[in-house]
Amino acid sequence: MSLSDFQVRRFVGVVEETLHDGGTPLDEPLLKAAAGVVIKNPFSGTYSEDLSSLTVSSPALGTELGRRAIRLLGGRQVQSYGKGGIAGLAGEQEHVVACVTTVFGDAFREAVGGGRAWISSVTKTAAAGTPLDIPLAFKDEVYVRSHYDAITLRLEDAPRADELLICVAVATGPRVHHRVGGMTAAEASRELAGSKN
């Protein structure tokens, strides 16, 4: 499994740095980042029952995108993550799903420093230039409400009809000025530590 299993056209990365959202400025800005890759869709224009060639090779994508996402955060620790993608119009949503299954997620998770929660995901079929809102959730417990968030990735020229855009997202903390209650990240971490004893 390596990136050479895919015909890569381009990589893309985007970072958002938020200091406040109308309230008191944060001591440390929230960073959100998305890393994506545009690849040729080998199933473009055809229907196949067996999409395993995409799935088997996908850990290489998960690892590379995870590494790129970490670099975009400038060394800060990942608190939340997500994944997703868009199939060009000659492809199917299922082609993207085949690229972001558990083996992709496990490789991505390892590349960004671990996590115990399942990784929120979004997939669709759309034309080039269509925005994708990649969901974010706390990496160790999906029920931590403060970290429910998203980052939008939009490429003017991708995915072309015969391409797939595969992407991941990470963030260094919860939503700016979150205040609607629920389980906190600290509580989730304590529960996790208790379950290991």
CATH (domain of 93): 3.30.1330.110
When pLDDT is cut at 50, 70 and 90, the band that residue 174 belongs to is very high
Q: Is the pLDDT of residue 197 over 70?
A: no
Lowest mean per-residue pLDDT among 106-120, 127-141, 165-179, 183-197: 183-197
pLDDT tens digits, residue range 82-137?
999 999 999 999 999 999 999 999 999 999 999 999 999 999 999 999 999 999 99
Question: What digits encode the pLDDT tens for the residues 16-28?
Answer: 999 999 999 999 9
Question: Minimal CA–CA distance to 102: which of 121, 88, 81, 89?
Answer: 121
Q: Locate 94 and state its tokens.
A: 């299922």
- Which residue type does 124 have? K
pLDDT (0 to 100) of residue 44: 98
Tokens 């800005």 belong to residue: 29
Provide the pLDDT for residue 135: 98
**Model confidence at 186, in pLDDT bands (50, 70, 90)?**
confident
> Distances from the Cα of 132 to the Cαs of 72, 85, 113, in angstroms?
19, 7, 24
Is pLDDT of 164 > 90?
A: yes
> Over pLDDT 70: what percentage of the chain?
97
In tens, the pLDDT along 29-71 reads: 999 999 999 999 999 999 999 999 999 999 999 999 999 999 9
Site of tokens 């929120």: 120
> How many independent structural domains does the chain possess?
1
Range of the domain at 90: 3-195
- DSSP assignment of 112-154: TT--SSPPEEEEEE--TT--EEEEEEESS-TT-GGG-EEEEE-
Q: What is the mean pLDDT of residues 148-152?
A: 98
185: Cβ–Cβ under 8 A, 6 or more apart, which residues?
79, 138, 140, 141, 144, 146, 147, 174
